[in-house]
Amino acid sequence: MHHELKQLAAAWAARPVEERLGMSRREFMTFCATLATTLGLPTGAHAAVEQAMDKGRRPSVIWLHFQECTGCTESMLRAEHPTLEKLILDVISLDYHETLFAAAGHQIEAARKQAMAENKGKYLLVVEGAIPTRDGGIYCKVGNQTAIELTRECAADAAAVIAIGSCAAWGGMPSTDPNPTGATGVHKIIDKPVVNIPGCPPNPYNFLATVVHFLTFGSLPAVDHLNRPLFAYSRLIHEHCERRAHFDAGRFAMEFGDDGHRKGYCLYKLGCKGPETYANCPTVLFGDAGAGTWPVGCGHPCIGCTEEGVGFTKPIHQLAKVKNLEPPVSYPRTREEQGKGVSLGAAAVLAAVAGAAAGAGAMVARNLGKGSGDQAPGSDDGGKSGPAGN
Amino acid sequence: MSSHEHAPVGGRLLTPVTFFCVVLFILALAVLGVRFVHGLGSVTHLNDGYPWGIWVVADVVIGSALACGGFAVAALVYIFNKGEYHPLIRPALLASLLGYTLAGVGVLFDLGRYWNFYHIFMPGYASPNSVMFEVAVCISLYIAVLWIEFWPAVLEKFGLADAKKKLVGTMYIFIGLGMVLPMMHQSSLGSLLIVFGHQIHPLWQSMLLPLIYLMTAVLIGYAIVLFESCVAAAGYRRSIETHLLNPLAKVMLGVLAAYLVIRVGDIVARGALATAFQFNLQALFFWLEMVCFALPFYFVGSEAMRRNPANLFLGGLYLLLGGILLRINSFLIGYMPGDNWSYFPSTGELVVTVGLFALKIAAYIIITRRFPVLPREQHAVAA
């Protein structure tokens, strides 16, 4: 039966890619170009992406679930360009995924072990969910193995490890204080390099673009110090935010439903974490749900779900730390005063000074004049200046 | 700099005059306290059109010009070798020292970010093509030079003859610097205005501004010596050094005549004379300035008039007023930043400026009473 399945798969892969994906050739080209752009690849790279996807090489993917809500998977399933169930079954060979598989129990565990053995050193490991570490990791078990054991076992022979969602990236929501299960991210459990795609949930295209990068170039994309792909996480949400002009102009929504909020002003003062959160939400939006639909676009402040120490840690309405720019305590006036004119006090002081100076000057002149007048007849002055003058 | 030339005046330090001056200075300190806590805007009437007010014009531009006595007399004594004026050097130097030091301190009050003041001394921040940079560096250096030039009086006071002798041995360096530095920055104060371009009224905007400023600085230097000698004589009831002041007044008139020829010639050559006959504030103040520059010819023009010390005093006084008006006119009255901008100093600004001048007067009195600065009296003076 396994052999027949393989034949079927080969026949499926032999069909033209646009037919396999259920989209027109034009749509497929657009999709490849979009992915290449999302990745920040140079012009012409979409051809390489096309070729790679055309081949239908289908890397084997093992997808593990631990402490999480399956939101990442749900978000992937809602993707529509193309519909991700097609892509996920076509571009990759999803050999193990607890949510999507009809099989269960020993059967599915056996499938995982077989896929790992057959694609040793070549398969992709995707982890969704945080890994509990307290008390030997007993708080999350699948097939009687703890999350730690499963992750280490699957990662040992994986070509690359991708941690999808904030939970897998650093512990996410389950790791919020007091963190009773000792939840943590994948990279703390294994020694291999891990690419983190944080977000709650992350935009599916960030994940997809990472996989396609691996498919096209045989390597994972460049990452930042938190192992997040630079193509998606190198800029603050604040930098490309559609409400940025309002921030710069000092126009803020002060509470939900107020005048500023209705007019679409900046949500910074409602606690928007865009200024301290690195993600590409303003440009690729959120969850492929349509134009303008991402939290800030809908009028809710960003909660910073991609940023460790911000999302699930800082209160949602706490003011963000603006990382690229500190707003001054006060702004300069928009209309400068052009002079205040003469004040009564100033005029009085000036008049007093002028009067005192004139009076003193007159007195000095009079005294000096008198002195010379008095002294001249007695020639006292002459006596003084005469010898010294010689 | 022989010690027999100068002697302390002696007498009480706390007199009604010094007391009154110190009270004025304390008022100024109170205003400055508000300025440093709440910023320039809380005290001054400065605005974006007039970023410079009387703190710059009166305390720095005029203050340093009034302090040119030391430089002007030193030029006579050391450059033109007129040794007979030597007794006048120390009092002039003291006035220069006080004037420049307080001008330097006065700049601090007007600096928005005063805590960065030391940047002027750091080569990394230097912008050698800037006129302002030249003014700032020259003034700071000159303040140091003035203190060194005055130091023999202090050493003399404390009987440190050896130290004084050593210092006097190197004095030629500082006298040289003391000539060059003020010439550089007094002319540059005029160059500052050239940079303002058409914002300065044609009666004052001229490529000759550096020369005009330099010549008036020298004139003010001589005028302040006349003024200060007369006031010191009147205030301390001393005999007046008419034998020195009369020839000095003649030198002063010569420079003044040259200045007026250049000034009027420049206005005529630039075709700006017509603007002097318009009916406006600028024209009015221009004539006030010119009258003040002309009046000394009446008061000290003839030998007969010069014999009366009151005329020496008035001649010096009007020349001072002329120099002061030139600076106020070119920096404030003739400065036209555009429609609707206006500036008149606030009470606080005036209080600070008055307080600073009061401090200079008090310090001058206190120092001349205790240090050998003024020329030694030939006869005992009636108390």
> What is the spatial distance between Cα A304 and Cα B167, in angstroms, rounded to a whole number?
70
For the cut 90, the answer to whether the pLDDT of residue B210 exceeds it is yes
Asked if residue B209 lies in contact with residue B190, where contact means CB atoms within 8 angstroms, the answer is yes
Amino acid symbol at A238: H
Asked if residue A84 lies in contact with residue A204, where contact means CB atoms within 8 angstroms, the answer is yes
Using 50, 70 and 90 to split pLDDT, how confident is the model at A390? Answer: very low
For the cut 50, the answer to whether the pLDDT of residue B2 exceeds it is no
> Helices (DSSP H) in A22-158: which residue ranges?
25-38, 45-55, 71-77, 84-90, 105-118, 147-156
Using 50, 70 and 90 to split pLDDT, how confident is the model at B1? Answer: very low
Which among A84, A71, A208, A212 has a CA at the least distance from the CA of A130? A71
> Helices (DSSP H) in B84-170: which residue ranges?
89-110, 131-157, 161-169
Average pLDDT over residues B301-327: 90
Q: What are phi and psi of A319, to 5 degrees?
A: -65, 135
- Tell me the β-bridge partners of B375: B6
**What was the pLDDT predicted at A327?**
62
For the cut 80, the answer to whether the pLDDT of residue A332 exceeds it is no
**What was the pLDDT predicted at A151?**
92
Inter-chain CB proximity B234 and A385 less than 8 Å: no
**pLDDT averaged over every residue in chain B:** 88
Per-residue buried b or exposed e for B154-185, using 16+ beta carbons within 10 Å of the residue's own CB: bbbeeeeeeebeebeeebeebbebbbebbbbb
**Beta-strand relationship, A141-142 and A145-146:** antiparallel
What pLDDT digit, counting tens, does each position of A35-65 carry?
777 776 766 666 777 776 666 567 788 889 9
How many whole angstroms from its chain centre is CA B36?
26
Which among B110, B94, B19 has a CA at the least distance from the CA of B57? B110
> What is the spatial distance between Cα A89 and Cα A60, in angstroms, rounded to a whole number?
10
**What was the pLDDT predicted at B261?**
96
Which among B206, B212, B213 has a CA at the least distance from the CA of B189? B213
**B residues 230..269 contacting A (CB < 8 A):** 230-231, 233-234, 239-243
For the cut 80, the answer to whether the pLDDT of residue B79 exceeds it is no
**What was the pLDDT predicted at B90?**
86
Q: Quick one: tokens of A14? A: 């032999």
| Residue ranges covered by each domain of chain B | 3-370
Inter-chain CB proximity B47 and A385 less than 8 Å: no
- Check the CA dihedral B262-B268-B269-B275 and report its sign: positive
How many whole angstroms from its chain centre is CA B209?
17
Nearby residues of B300 by Cβ (< 8 Å), 6 or more positions away: B249, B252, B253, B306, B311, B312, B315
Using 50, 70 and 90 to split pLDDT, how confident is the model at B241? Answer: confident
B3-370 topology per CATH: Formate dehydrogenase/DMSO reductase fold (1.20.1630)
Which residue of B230, B233, B345 is in closest CB contact with A346?
Answer: B345
Say if A338 is an interface residue toward chain B (CB within 8 Å): yes
Say if A329 is an interface residue toward chain B (CB within 8 Å): no
For the cut 70, the answer to whether the pLDDT of residue A88 exceeds it is no
- For residue B344, list chain A residues with Cβ-Cβ distance below 8 A: 339-343, 346
- For residue A346, list chain B residues with Cβ-Cβ distance below 8 A: 344-347, 349-350
Interface test with B, best of A367, A370, A380 (most B CBs within 10 A): A367
**What was the pLDDT predicted at B353?**
93
What pLDDT digit, counting tens, does each position of A366-377 carry?
888 776 544 433
What region does B189 belong to: left with phi over 0, alpha with psi -120 to 50, or beta?
alpha
Which among A160, A164, A234 has a CA at the least distance from the CA of A199? A164
For the cut 50, the answer to whether the pLDDT of residue A362 exceeds it is yes
Question: Please, what is the end-to-end C-alpha distance for chain B in angstroms?
Answer: 28
Inter-chain CB proximity A368 and B48 less than 8 Å: no
**What was the pLDDT predicted at B100?**
92
Amino acid symbol at A194: V
Percentage of chain A with pLDDT > 90? 28
Average pLDDT over residues A101-105: 80
Q: Helix B347-370 crosses helix A344-378 at what angle (to 10 degrees)?
A: 30
**What was the pLDDT predicted at A44?**
66
Q: Quick one: tokens of A348? A: 């009085």
Average pLDDT over residues B129-152: 89
More confident residue, A78 or B41: B41
What pLDDT digit, counting tens, does each position of B167-207 carry?
888 888 888 888 888 888 889 999 999 989 899 999 999 99
| Lowest-pLDDT range of A7-11, A307-311, B30-34 | A7-11
**What was the pLDDT predicted at A385?**
34
**What was the pLDDT predicted at B4?**
55
User: Where does residue A117 rank: exposed (0-12), middle (13-18), buried (19+ CB within 10 A)?
Assistant: exposed
| Lowest-pLDDT range of A386-390, B61-65, B73-77, B184-188 | A386-390
- Check the CA dihedral A304-A308-A311-A315 and report its sign: negative
Average pLDDT over residues B35-60: 90
For the cut 50, the answer to whether the pLDDT of residue B382 exceeds it is no
Q: Helix B347-370 crosses helix B16-38 at what angle (to 10 degrees)?
A: 140
Which among A26, A31, A24, A28 has a CA at the least distance from the CA of A209? A31
Rg, Å, chain A Cα set: 37
Using 50, 70 and 90 to split pLDDT, how confident is the model at A360? Answer: confident
**What was the pLDDT predicted at A355?**
92
> What is the spatial distance between Cα B287 and Cα B273, in angstroms, rounded to a whole number?
11
**What was the pLDDT predicted at A384?**
33
Asked if residue A63 lies in contact with residue A97, where contact means CB atoms within 8 angstroms, the answer is yes
> What is the spatial distance between Cα A99 and Cα A96, in angstroms, rounded to a whole number?
9
**What was the pLDDT predicted at A304?**
92
| Residue ranges covered by each domain of chain A | 2-232, 235-327
In chain B, which residue's Cα lies nearest the Cα of A356? B354
Average pLDDT over residues B34-54: 90
For the cut 50, the answer to whether the pLDDT of residue B17 exceeds it is yes
More confident residue, A50 or A299: A299
In chain A, which residue's Cα lies nearest the Cα of B345? A346
Query: In degrees, to the nearest 5, what angle opens at C-alpha B20 toward C-alphas B65 and B315?
Result: 40
**What was the pLDDT predicted at B380?**
43
Average pLDDT over residues B206-231: 91
User: Where does residue A279 rank: exposed (0-12), middle (13-18), buried (19+ CB within 10 A)?
Assistant: buried
Question: Please, what is the end-to-end C-alpha distance for chain A in angstroms?
Answer: 135
- For residue B4, list chain A residues with Cβ-Cβ distance below 8 A: none
Domain at A235-327, CATH class:
few secondary structures
For the structural domain made of A2-232, what CATH number should be given?
3.40.50.700
**What was the pLDDT predicted at A57?**
61
Going from the C-alpha of B278 to that of each of B201, B268, B283, the distances in angstroms are 12, 15, 6
ipTM score of the complex? 0.77
Q: Quick one: tokens of B99? A: 């004037």
What pLDDT digit, counting tens, does each position of A251-284 carry?
999 999 999 999 999 999 999 999 999 998 888 8
**What was the pLDDT predicted at A376?**
37
More confident residue, B346 or A91: B346
Interface test with B, best of A335, A381, A384, A390 (most B CBs within 10 A): A384
- For residue B345, list chain A residues with Cβ-Cβ distance below 8 A: 346, 350
Say if B287 is an interface residue toward chain A (CB within 8 Å): no
- For residue B243, list chain A residues with Cβ-Cβ distance below 8 A: 385, 388-389
| Lowest-pLDDT range of A37-41, A81-85, B362-366 | A81-85
- Encode A258-319 in three state secondary structure: CHHHHCCCECHHHCCCHHHCECCHHHHCCCCCCCCCCHHHHCCCCCCCCCCCCCCCCCCCCC
